[in-house]
Structure 1
Amino acid sequence: MISIVTDSTADLSPALRAQEQIRSVPLYVLFDGQMLKDGIDIQTKALFEGIKAGKKTPSTSQPSPAEFAAVYREALETADEVLSIHISGQLSGTVGSARLAAQEFGGKVTVVDSRTVSLGLGLQALRAARLAREGRSAADIVSALERVQAQQDIRFTVDTLEFLRLNGRIGGAQALLGGLLNIKPILAVRGGRVESAGRARGSKKALADIAEHVRKYAEQHPGANVAFLATDGGEGTVVELRAALAGVNYTDMGDHHFGAVVGTHAGPGTYGAVLEPAQV
C-alpha cells in the first residue's frame, strides 16, 4: 500500500483530501508578526482583509524536515511506502525539506517535484492517489506524473502584479507597465516557474484569451481535465470563464480556491484554470 502526501500549496480542500486519503503538510504565512499554518491558522479571506486594513504584506516559508518526518512516520504506520508530491523546487524550498526528511526512512519515501503549484500540484496528487488505489507501484506512479508534467498547463491572470512583485515572483518594471496601461498579464507555470504567457488589454480580453487557450487545449486533448481556481474576488470570473467554454469537450474537475500561501503571491481577484490530459 502506498500513502500519498502533498503540501498545502496543492490547494485541495480538507474534504477532498479526506475523501482521497491524501495527507498534507502545511506551509507557513508570516503575517502580522505571527507564523501561521496555511489553511489551519490562516485562510485567504482573512489574509486579504488584513492587508486591506493596512497590515504589512505577508511572506511565506516552507515546513521543516522534522514536520515532514512526523507525517511520514504516521503514514508508514498503515502503509508500506509513501509518495510525497510537492510544489516546484523553483518556487519554494518545500521539496528540499521533504527530501531531507525522506533520508531517514530507508527508501520507503519517494519525493516528487511536481514542477508546478496550486491545483497543478493538486491534480497530480489526486491522480497519484487514484493510481495507488489501483495497486500501481511507486515507480509506475512517478512515471505517470512525469508524463502529466510534460503536458499539464496552468493559465491564470491577476488583478494586480503588485503581490507577485513584492514577493519576488515578477520584475518591478513589468508591474509598473501593467499598472499604467491597464494591461492584464496572462501567466503560466512552465518548467516549474511562473512566466508570462501574454498580455491582454483589460479584464474582458484576459478572460477571452484564457477561454480560447482552454478551448484549443481541449481540442488537442479531448476530454481533458480542467480545474477552475480563484482567490477571493475571482469567483465570479470563474463562473464567466466556465460559461465561455459552453460546448467544449472537457472533464470539469470543479471549482477550487487558492490557499493563503499561494494567495500571498497571487493577490485578490486572481483566477484561472489548470489543464491536463485525462489519460497519459
Structure 2
Amino acid sequence: MSKVAVMTDSNSGITQKEAQRLGIRVVPMPFYIDGELYYEDITLTQEEFYGHLSGEADISTSQPSPGDVMEIWEELLDTYDEVVHIPMSSGLSNSCETAMALARDFDGKVHVVNNQRISVTQRQSVLDALALAGQGRTGQEICDILMREKLEASIYITVDTLKYLKKGGRVTPAAAALGTVLNLKPVLTIQGEKLDAFAKVRGMKSAKKVMKEAMKKDLDTRFAGRKVHLEIAHTCPEEEAQAWKEELEAYFPGYDIHMDALSLSVACHIGPGALAVACSRQVEELEDR
C-alpha cells in the first residue's frame, strides 16, 4: 500500500501548530511589507499583519519559492511514497501552476491538486485528502477525487470597508467614495476560480441576510440531497466572528460549523471586518465515515 503525505499552504488557514497535530506540512505564504519579507505564521502573525494593514504599510503577496517547495517534497519522499500537495486556487495565485510545473520532475510521485479552493474550503480538501490516504488510496486516486469535487464548494463574503477593494482596483475611487457615503456593503462570491461581485446592499445587517439566503439557496438546489460541510471565515475581532457563527447556527440548525480567520492573501484585498460563509460538499467516498 502506498504511503501518502499531504501538504498545503497557509492559505488553507491551517496553522503550523495544527499541521503538526494533523501530520501534514504547510508551506507559509510570503508577504512583502514595506519591502521586508515575512512568512505567514512563521515571522508574521495575524495580529501583526492587521497592524501593518491599518498602519497604511505597503503590503504585497508573493508565492513560495520553488526551492522551498521542492525541498519539502524531497524531505517527505524520504519517508513517504507519494505527496499530495493542495495549494490555493490557481485563479487567485500563480503558486499552483508553479507547483504543477515543478512536480513534473518528481516522476509521478508528487500530485498537485488544482481544485480551486481557498481558506476553509481548501482546509476541508486537506482533511478529505488525509481521510482518503487513511483508506489506503494512492496519491493519484486522491488527486482525481479532489479534482472531481473542485467546483462543489461555495463562498460568500462581505466587507466592512471599500478601501482595500479600491486599492486593488476592484472598485473605482468614485464608486468607493459613493459607497462609503451610502454605507454600501458589497457581497462577493467565490464559485471556482476567482473572487466576483454577487450583490450590493446597504449596511452589514442586509449583507448578512443576503449571504444567508444565498447559502440556503445553494444547499436547497446545488447541494440538495447531499451532505455538506458548513464553514465560516472572517477578518473580524473574535467576538464579532463568534456572533456571526451563532447567527448561522440558528439559521442552519443541525450543522457543526467550523470557523477560521480568513487567509491573509485574501485579507490583503478585502481588509479587516469581513465575514464569510462557505460550504463544501462531502466527498462521496467519505460519506459513511
Q: 1:221 to 1:209 in 2, by over 3 A?
A: farther
- Aligned residue runs from structure 1 range 241-280, under 5 A: 241-246=245-250, 248-249=252-253, 251-280=255-284
Give the drift of 1:19: 2.7
1:48 and 2:50 aligned: yes
Matches within 5 A, 1:109-188: 109-168=110-169, 170-172=170-172, 174-188=175-189
Verify the 8 A CA contact 2:151 2:191 in the aligned structure 1.
no
Report percent identity of matched pairs.
Answer: 28
Cα distance in 2 for residues equivalent to 1:238 and 1:200:
23
**Alignment match, 1:193:** 194
Q: Where does residue 224 of structure 1 map in the other structure?
A: 228
Is this contact kept in 1: 2:188–2:197, CA < 8 A? yes
Indicate the SS of the match to 1:246: helix
What letter matches 2:211 in structure 1? I
Going from structure 1 to structure 2, the CA distance change for 1:205 and 1:212 (only over 3 Å counts) comes to same
Match for 2:16: what amino acid? P
Counterpart AA for 1:264: C
Alpha-carbon shift at residue 237 of structure 1 (Å):
4.1
Counterpart of 1:208? 209
CA distance in structure 2 between the partners assigned to 1:107 and 1:269 by the alignment: 43
Please give the alpha-carbon distance, in whole angstroms, between the structure 1 residues aligned to 2:247 and 2:57: 37
Please identify, of 218-227 and 2-11, the stretch whose mean Cα deviation from structure 2 is larger.
218-227
* Structure 2 residues without counterparts, runs of 5 or longer: 285-289
Are 1:9 and 2:11 an aligned pair?
yes
Match for residue 22 of structure 1?
Answer: 24
| Aligned partners of 1:64 and 1:97 also within 8 Å | no
The Cα of 1:63 is off from its aligned counterpart by 0.8
Computed over aligned residues only, the root mean square deviation of the Cα atoms, in angstroms, reads 2.2
Alpha-carbon offset, residue 161 of structure 1? 2.7
Aligned to 2:237: 233
Structure 1, residues 170-207: CA drift from partner, whole Å, max 9, x if none?
Answer: 23265445323211111111231000121221100111
> In structure 2, how many angstroms separate the alpha carbons of the residues matched to 1:81 and 1:43?
31
Give the conservation status (yes or no) of the 8 Å contact 2:4–2:83. Answer: yes
| Residue 145 of structure 1, CA deviation | 1.4
Answer yes or no: is the 8 Å Cα contact 1:224–1:250 preserved in 2: no
CA-CA distance at 1:277 after TM superposition = 1.8
AA matched with 2:275:
Y
Q: Is the 8 A contact 1:83 1:109 kept in 2?
A: yes
Separation in 1, partners of 2:95, 2:32:
16
Task: Give the CA deviation at 1:222.
Answer: 5.3
Q: How far 1:217 moved relative to its partner?
A: 3.3
Question: Which residue identity does 1:242 align to in structure 2?
Answer: E
Distance 1:122 1:116, change over 3 A: same
Q: Secondary structure at the match of 2:247?
A: helix
Secondary structure at 1:273 match in 2: strand
Deviation readout 1:143-188 (Å, 9 max, x if unpaired): 32123222200111111232233235x2326544532321111111
**Aligned residues of 2:7 and 2:83 also touching (Cα < 8 A):** yes
Whole-angstrom distance in 2 between the partners of 1:137 and 1:270? 38
Does the 8 Å CA contact 2:7/2:26 hold for their aligned counterparts?
yes
Deviation of the 1:250 alpha carbon = 5.0
CA 11–261 in structure 1, closer or farther in 2 if over 3 Å, else same:
same
Q: What is the distance in 1 between the residues matched to 2:274 and 2:118?
A: 14
How far the C-alpha of 1:47 sits from its partner, in A, is 1.6
User: Where does residue 65 of structure 2 map in the other structure?
Assistant: 64
In structure 1, what is the equivalent of residue 287 of structure 2?
A: none
Partners of 2:227 and 2:281 within 8 A in 1? yes
Post-superposition shift, 1:94?
0.7
SS at match of 2:252: coil
**Aligned-partner Cα distance in 2 for 1:264–1:11:** 14
Name stretches of at least 5 consecutive residues in structure 1 with no aligned partner.
none
